[in-house]
Structure 1
Amino acid sequence: MMDLVLVFSVLLVVCYVGVVIKPSPIYGGLGLLVGGLAGCGMTLGSGGPFLGMMMFLIYLGGMLVIFGYTTAMASEEFPETWTSNWFMLIAYFVGIVMEMLLMGYFSSLENVTLETKVEVDHVPRWLPIEAEEIELVAEDGLGVAAMYEEGGWVAMVIGWILFASLFIVLWVTHGI
């Protein structure tokens, strides 16, 4: 499962690097859409199926609206692609190669341990209970319970991020 999360994280970086090099808004919107899919796939792969699917549907709806507006405002006969500017294309591939080198370096480290110290005052009811031999968890139901019980602030943060991304997309497409 972690390999799938790794693939989604690489796809996320590749898509957002493609958005940053500022091609036509058509391709930029497509990069944001696929990047959102990759980010929600990372959430799904990390064990949050309900939140990942809910976030993808909300993000997909919002991004399709933005994609429609930017396409309508910046309709070009010959839209600029990622290969139109050779410098940007080279910068794109250098960024991807640097990410691969950093991933290879950090995955080759053997004696790296991450130590966390967490003190839990109370244990929420929706956490799984481990038995000696079996652990049964219905993840979708737990996601709904977590969202309504203690995950309200997560929905607020997600909403704020989507609101900020609206202004970022409008700022990027302002000069077009």
Structure 2
Amino acid sequence: MSGVMDFFLLMSVMGLLAVPSNPSPDFAALGLVLEAGVGCGIYGSYGDSFFTLIILLMYMRGTWIVFACETAIAADRDPNASGLWAVFGRKPVYMIWLFISQFIFCGGWYDECAQSLDEFDEVYLFRGEFGAVGLMYCSGGGFCMLGACTLQLSFFVVVELTRAVSRRALRPV
């Protein structure tokens, strides 16, 4: 079980690095799809398969909406793949930045929730993911709200850019 989780976490980091290091929106969206699948695999390894499937379907829907908008805006005839040196050279820079920011900003929050409550011998009333949700909203709730507002604003910008001038999408708003 530990090897599977290590693989999922490694693929999660690779999926997160695939998004900013690719200049083409096609391959960046592929990194988002990889991240959605791996993230739900991590969550599903703790035993909640139905909720994992629902989250995967919702996240894939949002990813494909973003993918369709990005492809409509930047229709690239020759997208740069991850094998090119210009793209491949960015990944170590992002990896170093990731480790430095993790060392600076994420002091020791993972020491308390490194294991799920299902892995202990005792019987507990709550499962491990409920503690992680509380921890996420405790320390990062403001960042979640900031991310949601940013995504909403970027959606409005994409809608305004793709609509014709005569048919404004947000005119009633």
Question: TM-score over 0.5 for the alignment?
Answer: yes
Contact 1:5 1:46 in 2 (8 A): no
Task: List alignment gaps of at least 5 residues for structure 2.
Answer: 99-110, 158-173
Query: How far apart, in 2, do the equivalents of 1:54 and 1:34 lie?
Result: 16
The structure where helix makes up a greater share of residues is 2
Amino acid at match of 2:43: T
Amino acid at match of 2:91: Y
Task: Report the CA distance between 1:82 and its aligned residue.
Answer: 2.2
Q: Tell me the percent identity.
A: 23
Alignment root-mean-square deviation, CA:
4.3
Task: Report the CA distance between 1:54 and its aligned residue.
Answer: 1.2
Higher relative contact order (CA 8 A, sep 6+): 1
Higher CA-based Rg: 1
Length-normalised TM-score, structure 2: 0.55
Query: How far apart, in 2, do the equivalents of 1:77 and 1:165 lie?
Result: 27
Q: Note closer, same or farther for the CA distance 1:10–1:98 as it changes in structure 2 (3 Å cut).
A: farther
Task: Report the CA distance between 1:53 and its aligned residue.
Answer: 1.4
Matched, 1:32 2:32: yes
> Which residue does 1:55 correspond to in 2?
55
> Which residue does 2:20 correspond to in 1?
20
> Which residue does 1:78 correspond to in 2?
78
> Which residue does 2:106 correspond to in 1?
none
Contact 2:8 2:41 in 1 (8 A): yes
Please give the residue correspondences for 1:1-176 in structure 2 after superposition, counting only pairs within 5 Å.
1-84=1-84, 86-93=85-92, 114=111, 164-165=150-151
Query: How far apart, in 2, do the equivalents of 1:40 and 1:19 lie?
Result: 18
Length-normalised TM-score, structure 1: 0.54
Query: How far apart, in 1, do the equivalents of 2:86 and 2:24 lie?
Result: 16
Task: Report the CA distance between 1:42 and its aligned residue.
Answer: 0.4
Task: Report the CA distance between 1:96 and its aligned residue.
Answer: 6.0
Number of paired residues? 130
Task: List alignment gaps of at least 5 residues for structure 1.
Answer: 100-113, 117-127, 172-176
Amino acid at match of 2:89: I
> Which residue does 2:171 correspond to in 1?
none
